[in-house]
Amino acid sequence: MKRKISLKDIAAKVGVSTALVSYVLNNKKSGRIRVEVAQKIKEAARELNYRPNQIAKSLKLNKTYTLGLIVADISNPFFSTLARIIEDEADKHNYTVIFGSADENAAKSFKLINTLMDRQVDGLIIAPAENAESNIKYLQDHEMPFVLIDRNFPAISTNWVCLNNFKASFSALQHLLDRGSKKPGLLTYKTSLYNISERKRGYEIALLENNVMFQPTWLKEVSFSEDMRTAVENALDEMLGGNSPVDSILFSSNILATYGLKYIHSRDIRIPDDLALITFDEMDASDLFYAPLTYIKQPIQDMGEIATQILLENIDAIKKTQQVKLEGDLIIRKSTEMVE
């Protein structure tokens, strides 16, 4: 690569010290510097096409204007949409973002945290993995500003912005029951992740409050480690088979829904007549399925913006911890229009 123009080059060209150049270019000590000199410096900078080396600046100022974003998988539409929102919000404040995918793996997440901290990011936005409490502790010990997104750990006091997962799930179930579902199922992950366990709790409490006798085959949990497609297919077979098959299903994530829908489609189960369906998250597919899908819309724009704002506030040393629970929106469509 070509040698870059530095302060020194400008200083040499104008015949002043680098200090003066720095002052002028950063508008420090304005008024206290002779106008002609300032003018000449600015001109030289323009002529030489000077661009400050941010790495040098970062080292000196101990500030990189870089945010780290750690999600489960950047190629998951939920997270890539979030990434775009965070990028835009960060950019408004002249921050740049480095990202990493942790694949729901706490060890990988820890490695990423260290990589990003080594690069001196000013703060982190993290969708934490299961069992990543020690990661959080690590960040706190190092006084690294961060905010959790999408998931949090109820036992640990941190900044976070998450969906009200309990309520979203509860409302979805209430809707299914109101529409006449007698045997609602839940397909979810086998995980201690709080957002996911809240979705399960919403399901359970809704059944309880509506006096529906829960059957174990209605609730299936697939774990991150299995082959997701096969696991989903097996789970659906069990939910739809046996002597108490479900008549509706809530999918706990876009990923589960995508696999699930493909399978349901291939098995020629008619939606909503044979089976009513609700999914978490908006998907392109929701509109294209022959029975447009009822879904829980997450306030993803708010989630990304607020998380970024909280992080920036914390970086700028406002230290109160903030916890924001956002409400989802149940968008009702064809897939829950059951015929009684």
**Rounded to whole angstroms, how far apart are CA atoms 178 and 175?**
5
H helix or E strand, kind and range, residue 219: strand 219-222
Minimum CB separation from a copy of itself for residue 265, in Å?
Answer: 6
Between 149 and 219, name the residue whose CB sits nearer to a copy of itself.
Answer: 149
Q: 109 or 171, CB closer to a copy of itself?
A: 109
Interaction of residue 317 with DNA, rule CB under 7 A: no
User: Looking at 148, 246, 261, 296, which residue binds a copy of itself (CB under 8 A)?
Assistant: 261
**Cis peptide before 272, with omega less than 30 degrees from 0?**
yes
Nearest to 174 by CA among 209, 206, 218: 206
In single-letter form, the type of residue at position 83 comes to A
Query: Of residues 62, 211, 243, 266, which one binds DNA by CB under 7 A?
Result: 62
Question: Is there binding between residue 84 and a copy of itself (CB under 8 A)?
Answer: yes
Angle at 322 between CA 316 and CA 325, to 5 degrees: 140
Gap between the Cα atoms of 292 and 306, Å rounded: 30
**Lookup result for tokens 């690590």:** 138
Q: Which secondary structure element, helix H or strand E, spans residue 71, and what is its range? A: strand 66-71
Rounded least distance, CB 316 to DNA, Å:
15
Site membership for DNA, residue 187 (CB under 7 A): no
CB nearer a copy of itself, residue 17 or residue 114: 114
Interacting positions 103-122 with a copy of itself (CB under 8 A): 114-120
Residue 319 within binding range of DNA, rule CB under 7 A: no
Select from 18-26, 83-91, 174-182, 260-268 the region that touches DNA (CB under 7 A): 18-26
Considering only 6, 18, 80, 164, the residue that binds a copy of itself (CB under 8 A) is 80
Taking the complex as a whole, the smallest distance from the CB of residue 59 to a copy of itself amounts, in Å, to 5
**Exposure on the CB side of residue 301, measured as CA atoms within 13 A:** 1
| 97 part of the interface to DNA, by CB under 7 A | no
First-residue to last-residue Cα distance in the chain: 71
In sequence order, what are the residues at sequence separation of 6 or more whose Cβ sits closer than 8 angstroms to the Cβ of residue 120? 58, 62, 64, 66
Shortest reach from residue 1's CB to DNA, in Å:
11
Nearest to 170, CA basis, from 25, 39, 278: 278
28 near DNA, rule: CB under 7 A: yes
Q: Which does 186 bind (CB under 5 to 8 A by kind): a copy of itself, DNA, none?
A: none
Residue 11 C-beta: closest distance to DNA, Å: 8
* Distance (Å, whole) CA 333 – CA 340: 16
Give phi and psi for 146, each to the nearest 5. -160, 160
Query: What distance separates the 2 farthest-apart alpha carbons in the chain?
Result: 90
Binding stretches for a copy of itself (CB under 8 A): 1-2, 51-56, 58-59, 64, 66, 73-77, 79-81, 83-84, 87-88, 96-101, 114-120, 141-145, 258, 261-262, 265, 283-285, 287-290
Binding stretches for DNA (CB under 7 A): 3-8, 16-20, 22-23, 25-26, 28-29, 31-34, 37-38, 50, 52-53, 56-57, 59-62
